Structure 1
Amino acid sequence: MNPEITVKARWIERAGRPWFPVSGEIHFSRLPRGRWSEVLGHARAGGVDAVATYVFWNAHEPEPGQFRWEGNRDLRAFVELAAEHGLGVVVRLGPWAHGESRYGGFPDWLVARGLPVRTNDPAYLELVRAFYAETIAQLTGLAHHEGGPIVAAQVDNELYDRPEHLAALRDLAEELGLDVPIWTATGWGGAQVPDSLLPVYGAYVDGFWDDSETEWPSFGPVHFRYSEVRDDLTVGADLREALDGVEAGTARARPELPFATCELGGGMHVAYHRRPLVAPEDVAALALAKIGSGSVWQGYYMYAGGTQRVGQRGTEQESQATGYPNDVPALSYDFHAPIGEHGQIRAHHHLLRRQHLWLREEGHRIATMTTTIGGGSDDPEELRWAVRSDGHSGYLFLTTYQPAKRPLAAQPGVQLHVEFDDGTVTVPSRPVDLPSGVSVAWPLHYRLTPDLELRSATAQLVTRISDDAGELVVLAAHDNVPVELVVDGVDGVKVIEPDTAPGPACVIDLPGVRVLILDEPAANRLYRLPVAGRDRLVLSDAPVYIEGGDLVLHPDTSRSTIAMLPPVTLSGAGEPRDEGLWRTWEVAAPDAGTRIIAADLRPEHGPPPPPRRGGPMDRLSAPVDYSGAARLRVDVPDSAFAADRTLLRVTWTGDTGRAFAGGALIGDHFWHGRAWDLDLTPHAAAIAVHGLTLELLPWRRATGVWVDPSVRDLPDGITVDAITAVNVAKIRLRPEPA
């Protein structure tokens, strides 16, 4: 049996110990089944300990009474595989999901019946009962109390004014046999959540659902300062206004419940009319700000992107044609997530992992700490700071970060005096200039050994581990912030400034403990993985995870480096070299690498189609007329398919693009400033026979599409800077104890 999970007044407990969950959204039915293990492995290696997933009704009951659970619809297989990777599962049951799905995930046949959906209407509830019954049957034996991975369930989504219906959905699910320790409902938008459900919240850097005239949504800046406000009135606001004709109110304050999140933006989707450009640093700064604001559950949406399903009536994306305000891409649901639509590992996977390793080490303490918010107003000149403390120890949060569209200035001469039960800690001991664009969480009164305390540090705790030489505490320095450790022990208080620059070789020996201080690049390569029977630190150039006890690397270069401590023997990695604490290998991947297929193209095209508007909010509509598109045939050599995965990366400017292989649409893209990636691997046979064709529509600024200011100044037309084949290898290394 699994240890008991309970929701307390301010935090969640597992086995009687406070637990700080980290969950990430991964939609099994939007991923090829053959990639499930890879994506789940990366998520676990990224410090995620539970995966959340929608059960889209339209995917599983496309026709009344005809339920489908095969292939990548196999919910049970996905949950079981998550458990194999050591992940818990949060099942988002619906019946309405949103998720940028057609009719919010409702099947067409249900919509056609015209029932008062998302209510306690008996006819509607009977249909929900059948869907829930089939779903819950897939989960038999997998609930937490049965020894399975399912730790929580969410009913409906973004329902703000029908608490009686939300309560009825939980009752129905329990009646049908689903017994989980945590039941949730989304709390944003002023939602009225019944007492039987835990409200969970969201926070996004930007939103495709806002208007094209909006430079930055009003709640965007709020998420980059410390605040006790849990709600976000903008998430789903367009649907409330468009479908229900109402504006959101203010949520009832629930200080008696834990501050839990389920949708911290792991990136952002794009719509035709509005195409945000969310940076990895934006995601990481927002997430850390929520911890500084009192969060006790970090839940990300999305953690891994996917591809919209194609059903019996075509693609199943949200669109104006189905009554929604926005046209989104027909296939791509990449979301610029930490793990991309095609398995791309992005910078915020690494930035977030540093936070998650810290929460794994200290989350049980942080969850119980109260939050004091100091500077946190909308005044950009004010120092933004907060403290989480249990009265004896804690963390000081400081930030000078906002997205590039509205950056904050540096803060000169920063020094704070933090009150604890036994006195005041002054940090740093001497004032320090805090550069622009930095978010930190510095430890205060952190116990290194029974006799030694880190009174303060100007570096961030990442993790701690032991080897044959004893305890090793790992900190990460910040660029352009000098490292200072104030250590209090039997010999009094000492201020230590390392002689060696931060990095894998920067080790400070203290009585009974060593402190490793990494620089930013090394910290972003650091993993903590179970290798050969124990946790080890891994520094890897290539994305890495554990599968079946093996280390699995996915390099996109022909050579990469991996290092480990404590050392092991790695079969298949060549001869190692020992460098200080680390044992290092050079790993060859001859099939990996990039090749340019075409470059510097200015393809001929006709005029763009006239702008159209539609939907309930009269927004710009995605083009359907491609008669004026540039058509590029891309000759992909057979040798490009030698690796595990072949991505085609199109670096271009224009409006929208579509990719075809043998007449079949295999990808689409609304240009927004980033390259367009296509996974060619599943289509290799069709491409070998028919080739690959790109249809590109030209950019026309007068159309009025919103793109980020950093990429807005571009000429009308189409440019293709490069078309590149990116070969991603899969290297499996078998570890054995050294």
Structure 2
Amino acid sequence: MKKLFFSLLVLVAFSGVAQQVYELDATMDEKPFRETLNLGGSNPGGQAIAFNNHYMTIGGQPVIPITGEFHFTRYPRQYWDESIKKMKAGGINVIATYVFWNLHEEKEGTFLWDGDKDLRTFIKLCKDNDIYVIVRIGPFCHGEIRNGGLPDWLLGRPLNIRSNDPLYLSYVERLYGQTAKQLKGLYYKDGGPIIGIQIENEYQHSAAPWGLTYPGQPGDLTAADRDQALTQEGVGISEAENPYAALGNDHMKVLKTLAVKAGMDVPLYTATGWGNAAIIPNESIPVTAAYAYPFWTPKRDYSPFFLYKDMHKSPDYAPVRYNPEEYPVFAAELGSGIMSVYTRRPIAVHKSLDAMINRCLGSGANGIGYYMYHGGSTPKGQSSFMSDEAYALPKISYDFQAPIGEYGQVREGFHRLKLLHFFVQDFGAQLAPMQTVLPVNARKLKPINITDLRYAARVKGSSGFLFLNNFQDDTTMVAQKNFRIRIKTKGGEISIPETGGINLDSDENAVFPFNMDVNGAHLNYATAQLMAKDEKADARYYTFFTPNGTAAEFSFAPGVTVEGKGITVDKNNRRTIIKCNNAITEFKLTANGKSVKILVVDKATALKSYRVTIGNKQYFMFSDALVLQHKKGFECVSDVPEFEVSIYPKYNVMPAIGAGNAERLHDDDVFSRYKITLPKTDIAISSRQVSANKWAVTLPASLPENANDVLLTVNYTADTAMGFLNGELVADEFYKGIPWQIGLRKFLNGKSQEMVFYFRPMQKNASYLIDLQPYPESIPDFGTASKYLKVGAITAATQYKTTITF
């Protein structure tokens, strides 16, 4: 067998800067694809979902599912549809959600499926929005909820939880039966959106503490008696030999049998497989995780999740209980954010989110999933708070610093991730069968190394994608300057770029294609990242963007004709090189009788992009506003009353606007451009200090006209903060140096109300200050005092919305 890969570093004098030239051998023998998994199924139209040991197919086409976790019970049902549309706008095509047993059967024998617990309505809304669903049915869930989702009353029954104890299984069977009633007729086989079921969670790996505990008492974990010694708190590595592994796998099989008996018949069953957790061999896909900013570790440290590896051979949090080469690499819990506990408050840097996905895709992942993608608020139970108080989590907030926040706020990570999502949606069929190629130094690289280039490729035949990552958590990578990569393929060697070098800023990542067909034109390479394509359009187009610090260059095989502005073309008998001179460039290629347009935008513009449909045709909209697709048009949500919308390809129709005014701007060479102006609204609130720790804020009675929400911002420096309405705790937060933002729409009732805020002072010796050390401006000057409390401005701002229709 040929040597799989090698790397060479050469120094060349170039413009006064030493150039680094790396080499990668992609002439490896390809791994076989085997269809041995007992998974799959068809819908009524005959479209089959199937799996081999590398990837998933729908209708015979390789796909890479993009899954976002969103807990319907942690969000008001009147906004579910909006949130599902937000997730779809972000490129999510599968929603994963937990069924928390204790929220639905808090009182033994009484199941609640109404209001915000209406699972069936949530699944129907997913169907209406054409988005798939994976239901995580437990019985144990974790999810930082009380007892990990197990009801309190289960502790008081004569049984052994999470085991084959007959009484325990009888309760589980009842739970599954009740859940299945809510899901009836909504499975993929019925034409519904439910393609997957997750059985249990982190079984024989992790557990949560029982909520019935005493302050200072060690955690009493929700695990079977036999598993207590090997059960850990949080996701991690477990190298100890489990003498009960066979019994654990058997229990998982029993749970699946009960689920199928209840009617939960789906193409895909998953099990959390990290850290030697139990799975259902050959009948479930073991999904993986990666948390760069865990709260369950004693301190901040560099994670390995930004270093490329072959995840098909060596999963994260290995060792694992299965042969990884027999299963596709599906990630279910890539930490797109993190929770705070009282003692630890990690800050999830949103530049880490797309960097981690780049690394996972480059390392062979053929399914990506986020925990959490959309935050929320944990509902209060009938007898207690339902958050994991024993772990010292906030009693209400489950914001998770996620791409979509607790109150639906769209954050930086949402925009960064969608660029990779668009790419995976359009090029997943090419990427999924490709195998990972690494340089020889990949195994030697350590997270602490901030100077060496991190790179890998996915390759099939001579075609592939080059992955570059220059991010590492809890430190700052050195900017990569003036480097080239030579890739040896079965069809010959290719140098990216041909001459000169690439720059990649610190914290940036990139994916560059090589030896790819672009509608009849052979693309040798591009130093711009593929974003999307439309090969069904009248004028076919591909879109690219340039990562920060990188110049866009395209090399095509001979025989192409190029037309466009803002480009430099260099032709010889071996290739045609096109360099883009502007931030936004469009050029037309013609090869072999076919034409295609290439749009190249800078990253700042790409981050404003949304894929939309107008009149059954695909377009891109670029806007600072959030653009949500509706059946008859678009809803635009903006933090300011004036914003622009640009459309590509050009669409020369003046839109109708639901509120405000629309103005056609002078088109540039590439986009149709419109300016939307809404009536400006000032929110009048008043605040008063009640005591040393307490403030009262008068809220508006209702939302202003054409408002999507009113966002209250509380600037403070303290330990913890709580918000009360009518004496009831409705919102809380642990200080992390970030202003506290609260969406008010779910609290407004048409009457004047006061929200009372209670703050507890920060202690000088607080353990969580270690997490704020990278942000010294967040740590106050205590002076000679032992505690500190300061409340600054409390302000409110309108979040505007309108509709536009073409």
Considering the TM-score relative to the shorter chain, is it more than 0.5?
yes
- The answer on whether the counterparts of 2:334 and 2:369 sit within 8 Å (CA) in structure 1 is yes
- The answer on whether the counterparts of 1:641 and 1:681 sit within 8 Å (CA) in structure 2 is no
Match of 1:181 among 257, 267, 271: 267
Report what 1:208 is aligned to. 295
Does residue 363 of the first structure (1) align with residue 428 of the second (2)? yes
Report what 1:701 is aligned to. 764
Match of 2:696 among 629, 633, 648: 633
Cα deviation for residue 190 of structure 1 reads 1.7
Does residue 470 of the first structure (1) align with residue 539 of the second (2)? yes
CA distance in 2, matches of 1:639, 1:179: 45
Cα deviation for residue 468 of structure 1 reads 6.9
- The answer on whether the counterparts of 1:401 and 1:438 sit within 8 Å (CA) in structure 2 is yes
Worse-superposed segment, 101-110 or 367-376: 367-376
Relative distance call for 1:679 and 1:34 in structure 2 (3 A) is: same
Relative distance call for 1:449 and 1:637 in structure 2 (3 A) is: closer
Report what 2:781 is aligned to. 715
Relative distance call for 1:683 and 1:372 in structure 2 (3 A) is: same
% of aligned pairs identical? 31
CA distance in 2, matches of 1:348, 1:595: 31
Relative distance call for 1:557 and 1:499 in structure 2 (3 A) is: same
Report what 1:428 is aligned to. 497
- The answer on whether the counterparts of 2:708 and 2:800 sit within 8 Å (CA) in structure 1 is yes
- The answer on whether the counterparts of 1:555 and 1:589 sit within 8 Å (CA) in structure 2 is no
Does residue 332 of the first structure (1) align with residue 397 of the second (2)? yes
5+ residue gaps, structure 2, are 1-43, 205-244, 561-572, 783-787
Report what 2:324 is aligned to. 254
**Match for 1:580: what amino acid?**
D
Match of 1:224 among 306, 321, 341: 306
Worse-superposed segment, 560-569 or 251-260: 560-569
Cα deviation for residue 683 of structure 1 reads 2.4
Report what 1:409 is aligned to. 478
After superposition, residues 714-733 of structure 1 pair within 5 angstroms as 714-716=780-782, 717-733=788-804
CA distance in 1, matches of 2:289, 2:669: 43
**Match for 1:228: what amino acid?**
D
CA distance in 2, matches of 1:168, 1:563: 54
Report what 1:74 is aligned to. 118
**Which whole-Å deviations, capped at 9, do the CAs of 1:400-442 have from their partners, x for residues lacking one?**
2113x21221233311111222111111122233332221110
**Match for 1:571: what amino acid?**
A
CA distance in 2, matches of 1:714, 1:459: 43
CA distance in 1, matches of 2:202, 2:608: 37
Secondary structure of 2:259's counterpart equals helix
Report what 2:577 is aligned to. 496
**Which whole-Å deviations, capped at 9, do the CAs of 1:621-642 have from their partners, x for residues lacking one?**
xxxxxxxx61112234558755
Worse-superposed segment, 588-597 or 181-190: 588-597
CA distance in 2, matches of 1:592, 1:529: 29
- The answer on whether the counterparts of 2:315 and 2:324 sit within 8 Å (CA) in structure 1 is no
Report what 1:305 is aligned to. 375
- The answer on whether the counterparts of 1:484 and 1:495 sit within 8 Å (CA) in structure 2 is no
- The answer on whether the counterparts of 2:453 and 2:480 sit within 8 Å (CA) in structure 1 is yes
- The answer on whether the counterparts of 1:18 and 1:367 sit within 8 Å (CA) in structure 2 is yes
**Match for 1:341: what amino acid?**
E
Report what 2:41 is aligned to. none
**Match for 2:677: what amino acid?**
A
CA distance in 2, matches of 1:275, 1:592: 35
- The answer on whether the counterparts of 1:597 and 1:722 sit within 8 Å (CA) in structure 2 is no
Match of 2:716 among 652, 672, 686: 652
Secondary structure of 2:747's counterpart equals helix
- The answer on whether the counterparts of 1:101 and 1:318 sit within 8 Å (CA) in structure 2 is yes
CA distance in 2, matches of 1:540, 1:558: 13
- The answer on whether the counterparts of 2:719 and 2:763 sit within 8 Å (CA) in structure 1 is yes
Cα deviation for residue 569 of structure 1 reads 4.2
Relative distance call for 1:393 and 1:251 in structure 2 (3 A) is: same
Report what 1:618 is aligned to. none
**Match for 1:342: what amino acid?**
Y
CA distance in 2, matches of 1:11, 1:129: 32
After superposition, residues 7-406 of structure 1 pair within 5 angstroms as 7-160=51-204, 161=245, 162-195=248-281, 196-211=283-298, 214-216=299-301, 220-229=302-311, 231-233=315-317, 250-320=320-390, 326-374=391-439, 375-376=441-442, 377-378=445-446, 379-403=449-473, 405-406=474-475
CA distance in 1, matches of 2:684, 2:353: 31
CA distance in 2, matches of 1:593, 1:433: 45
Does residue 439 of the first structure (1) align with residue 439 of the second (2)? no
- The answer on whether the counterparts of 1:91 and 1:154 sit within 8 Å (CA) in structure 2 is yes
Cα deviation for residue 232 of structure 1 reads 4.3
Cα deviation for residue 168 of structure 1 reads 1.0
Does residue 538 of the first structure (1) align with residue 621 of the second (2)? yes
Secondary structure of 1:63's counterpart equals coil
CA distance in 2, matches of 1:725, 1:481: 39
CA distance in 2, matches of 1:96, 1:682: 30
CA distance in 2, matches of 1:319, 1:698: 20
Report what 1:582 is aligned to. 671
Relative distance call for 1:604 and 1:138 in structure 2 (3 A) is: closer
**Match for 1:509: what amino acid?**
K
5+ residue gaps, structure 1, are 234-247, 321-325, 606-628
Relative distance call for 1:51 and 1:702 in structure 2 (3 A) is: same
**Match for 1:496: what amino acid?**
I
Report what 2:5 is aligned to. none
CA distance in 1, matches of 2:383, 2:614: 47
CA distance in 1, matches of 2:605, 2:453: 28
Cα deviation for residue 382 of structure 1 reads 2.5
- The answer on whether the counterparts of 1:4 and 1:145 sit within 8 Å (CA) in structure 2 is no
Match of 1:418 among 464, 482, 487: 487
Report what 1:245 is aligned to. none
- The answer on whether the counterparts of 2:293 and 2:300 sit within 8 Å (CA) in structure 1 is no
CA distance in 1, matches of 2:170, 2:408: 39
Cα deviation for residue 250 of structure 1 reads 4.7
Report what 1:675 is aligned to. 739
Over the aligned positions, Cα root-mean-square deviation in angstroms equals 2.1
